[in-house]
Amino acid sequence: MTTTTTTHTEPGGELQRILNVTRLHLTNKFPMMVLPLLILGFIFLVNYLIWWLIRGVTDPQGAADATQGMQFSGASSFIFIYMLVVAVQSVNLTFPFALGYSVTRRDFYLGTSVMFVLLSGYYAVIMTVMAGLERATNGWGLGGGMFDVIYFRTDNLALQFVLFLLTFLFFFFVGAATAAVYVRWRANGMYVFFAILTLLVIGLVALATYTESWPQVGAWFATNGALGVALWSLTVTALCALTGFLLIRKATPKN
């Protein structure tokens, strides 16, 4: 046989190749795992000051009203949107980089998905712990609510964790699928995608309005509860994950 002077390296194990992509995403941990917490901490600080101000200027009756009113502040919703952006960046920027490192599209997508699951777990744990602390301290001693919000709350902390986990997964894979549309078809893909999405939403609203089924829609959310809705979201999450995979398999790293 021909003598080869260059050593052809044996192909690495498939799992190892996939996990290397996961590691690649987490090479720079700060923007992925630290920065969001710093922002969350700052939002918490601002909220805390506001609760403290309200407490300071109202009588007990007013304070009780305020507690009622503070059950939904949306202050922690930023972190879910941030993860959507993380997902978009991971696919849009790391995809051409990983291909430059001679990674297959398949390994890239699977490794990226592992990263999404790991980060979902990481942030779900943090959010659950904070929600637990918020309950234990009766709203940080001021009746405030930031991690534990109305509708979204379940008494069982384990279930609360599952709820957070499913929500994070939803945002990660929606972000991944959207970015995959961009990577595959660039700006034109985005125009068509958002046009279809808009029509779809308007269509559904029209459908619910004409059939006068808004009460049923409300009832569906009420009966399923947050956990039920979160479980239903898994179908959307799975659909997005699959769509992202199929699109990335045909995508090219263009400029």
| Phi/psi-derived region of residue 144, left when phi > 0, alpha when psi is between -120 and 50, beta in every other case | beta
Residues touching other proteins, count (CB under 8 A): 39
DSSP assignment, residue 77? G
Smallest distance, other proteins to C-beta of residue 28, A: 5
Convert residues 14-43 into a mask of x (bound to other proteins by CB under 8 A) and - (unbound).
Answer: x--x--x--xxx-xx-xx------------
Smallest distance, other proteins to C-beta of residue 176, A: 15
Smallest distance, other proteins to C-beta of residue 13, A: 10
User: Which tokens belong to 249?
Assistant: 């398999």
Q: Provide CB contacts within 8 A for 227, sequence distance 6+.
A: 154, 159, 162, 163
d(CA 87, CA 120): 11
Residue number with CB closer to other proteins (108 or 152): 108
Smallest distance, other proteins to C-beta of residue 81, A: 17
Largest CA distance in the chain: 91
Closest CA to 107 of 16, 186, 184: 16
Q: Provide CB contacts within 8 A for 188, sequence distance 6+.
A: none
Convert residues 64-103 into a mask of x (bound to other proteins by CB under 8 A) and - (unbound).
Answer: -------------------------xx--xx-xx-xxxxx
Tell whether residue 187 is a contact of other proteins (CB under 8 A). Answer: no
- Amino acid identity at 251: A
d(CA 250, CA 73): 42
Binding other proteins by CB under 8 A: which of 71, 104, 154, 243?
104
Smallest distance, other proteins to C-beta of residue 131, A: 30
Q: Which residues bind other proteins (CB under 8 A)?
A: 2, 4-9, 11-12, 14, 17, 20, 23-25, 27-28, 30-31, 89-90, 93-94, 96-97, 99-107, 249-250, 252-253, 255
